[in-house]
Amino acid sequence: MAVAMTLHTSRLLLRPFEPADAEAVHHLAGSRDVAAGTFLPHPMDRQAAHDWVTGRLTDQSAGTSVTFAVTLAESGQVIGSIGLELVLAHEQGRLSYWLGKTYWNRGYGTEAVRALLDYGFTSLKLHRIYAPHFHTNPASGRVLQKVGMTHEGRLREHYLRFGTRIDVEMYGLLRQEFIACRPVIDGEPPPRES
Ligand SMILES: CC(C)(COP(=O)(O)OP(=O)(O)OC[C@H]1O[C@@H](n2cnc3c(N)ncnc32)[C@H](O)[C@@H]1OP(=O)(O)O)[C@@H](O)C(=O)NCCC(=O)NCCS
Q: What was the pLDDT predicted at 192?
A: 74
- Segment 95-108 shows an average pLDDT of 98
- Segment 19-25 shows an average pLDDT of 98
Mean pLDDT across the chain: 94
Q: What was the pLDDT predicted at 159?
A: 95
Q: What was the pLDDT predicted at 189?
A: 60
Min mean pLDDT across 12-16, 72-76, 185-189 is at 185-189
Tell whether the model's pLDDT for residue 191 goes beyond 90.
no
165/88 Cα distance (integer angstroms): 30
- Please tell me the distance between residue 139's alpha carbon and the centre of ligand 1 in angstroms: 3
Atom 31 of ligand 1, nearest CA residue: 142
Q: What is the pLDDT of residues 139-163, one digit of tens each?
A: 999 999 999 999 999 999 999 999 9
SS3 of 39, please?
A: coil
Cβ partners under 8 Å of residue 55, min gap 6: none
Candidate of 27, 67, 105, 113 to mutate for ligand 1, largest count of ligand atoms within 8 Å of Cβ: 105
Give the nearest ligand 1 atom to 137 CA: 44
Tell whether the model's pLDDT for residue 193 goes beyond 80.
no
Q: Which residues line ligand 1 (CB under 6 A)?
A: 34, 37-38, 96-99, 104-110, 133, 137-140, 142-143
Which domains can be identified in the chain, with CATH numbers?
A: 7-186 (3.40.630.30)
How many Cβ atoms sit within 10 Å of the Cβ of residue 154? 13
DSSP 76: -
Largest CA distance in the chain: 44
Candidate of 12, 32, 40, 99 to mutate for ligand 1, largest count of ligand atoms within 8 Å of Cβ: 99
Tell whether the model's pLDDT for residue 188 goes beyond 70.
no
- The answer for 181, left when phi > 0, alpha when psi is -120 to 50, beta otherwise, is alpha
Q: What was the pLDDT predicted at 187?
A: 54
Would the pTM count as exceeding 0.85? yes
Tell whether the model's pLDDT for residue 184 goes beyond 80.
no
